[in-house]
Amino acid sequence: MRQGLAATALLLGLFSCTTLARAETLNLLIWEAYIDQAILDAWTASTGIEVRQIYFDSGDARDEILADPNSNIDLTVVGENGSALFGKRGVLAPLTTEDVPSLTDYATQWTSRCGGYGAPYLWGTMGIVYRSDKVTTTPTSWKDLMQPAPALKKHIAMYDDHNEAFIAPLILLGKSINANDSDTLKQAFELMKGQAPSVLTYTYVITAIDNPDYGRDIYMALAYSGDQKVLNEKAGTPGVWRYAVPQEGTLSWLDCLAVTAASPRKAQAMKLVDHILSAKSAALNAQTLGMPTASTAALALLPEAMKNDPAIYTPADIMERSQYQTELSVSSIQTRRRIISAMANFQ
């Protein structure tokens, strides 16, 4: 499915850890509220090894941390493209069924997407979250977000990640979400400029909602499937936040759980991955987070109501129109980041 500053501050603390503390702790780089704490508590009770979560709220922030050889990260949640890319660069360790026996519960269609350097963690879509007490009509198109109603002016939250920020405009244009050519990106920029006066913040909604200055003013946002559950927990009002996948299609994403090659606790980290991916843990995680699991064994443990919930398992006809992310060219990434930086000038 999650600000760089917060993650950086935590990491500064990690750098000063003593050798003894590091030996008793595994450092997990992950989105906020992206794993059931009971799973980690069970691991600690069984092994005596603590797990410290370090949060990031954008892929760009995570990638900067992983690229730092002194980050002291043992394992991380990374997108499928990042898994292969960081694996080839020697940042992530290869994962096999010998290291992680639970991988046998995952079909090749899932494991292959992690490129041999990660294990399938959770998957889902990107769509629109909205406050049902403020937005009474369910969004059905990316136009509802990119060309919002006047009543939503300064009530929209977008996202400053160079991949996800372009999902809505590119799909609305009928283009590939992996577009590299400058003409297509310019067209997307024009749509984003038109939307900008309605945007309250370009901070990921899970982070933005906690901001005391404007969090309560967010009525609609770009989000990952499952984010609505976290937002409802933060709001303390079950069901007020809802999630919809636009009819034009969307991003179909897969997050992988990976171990860093430089970790001095690699064997322990591999065992933790195996624990998290086991059928019992994966089923518990899926139910707690309200997200789909890639584990065949865990899927069999889920209630039918969950498997039939369109907010969790997106209908097949929409999935058929969805796209996977592929590696972007360097020039495309640079152009996308320049566009994101320029958006604040159009608000």
Three-state SS for 272? helix
**Average pLDDT in the chain:** 91
* pLDDT score recorded for residue 60: 87
Token pair belonging to 265: 């606790």
Closest CA to 206 of 174, 243, 181: 243
Q: From CA 60, how far away is CA 262, in angstroms rounded?
A: 20
Q: Decide if domain 124-251+320-346 falls under CATH 3.40.190.10.
A: yes
Of 51, 97, 71, nearest in space to 10 by CA: 71
β-strands 199-201, 156-157: how paired?
parallel
Q: What are phi and psi of 328, to 5 degrees?
A: -90, 160
Cα–Cα distance, 271 to 220 (Å, whole number):
40
Cβ(127)–Cβ(144) below 8 Å: no
| pLDDT of 12 | 40
Cβ atoms 111, 258 nearer than 8 A: no
CA-CA distance, 228 to 310, in Å (whole number)? Answer: 13
Same fold, 4-123+253-309 and 124-251+320-346: yes
- 4-123+253-309 under CATH 3.40.50.300, yes or no: no
pTM: 0.85
pLDDT of residue 199: 97
Q: Which pLDDT score is estimated for 18?
A: 38
* 195, 284, 292, 300, 301 from 279: Cα distances, Å: 43, 9, 13, 9, 8
Pick from 301, 336, 13, 21: nearest CA to 180: 336
CA 155 to chain centre: 22
pLDDT at residue 86, rounded to an integer: 95
Q: List the chain domain ranges.
A: 4-123+253-309, 124-251+320-346
Separation of alpha carbons 279 and 18, rounded Å: 35
DSSP strand E in the chain: where? 25-31, 50-56, 75-79, 119-131, 156-157, 199-201, 220-224, 241-244, 252-259
User: Which residue has tokens 């963690």?
Assistant: 121
Angle at 100 between CA 96 and CA 101, to 5 degrees: 105
Q: What is the pLDDT of residue 200?
A: 97
Residues 6+ apart with CB under 8 A from 247: 140, 141, 318
**Rounded distance, CA 321 to CA 248, Å?**
7
* Residues of the chain scoring pLDDT < 70: 1-23, 347
pLDDT digits (tens, 9 = 90+) for 158-190: 999 899 999 999 999 999 999 999 999 999 999
Q: What does the DSSP 8-state code read for residue 2?
A: -
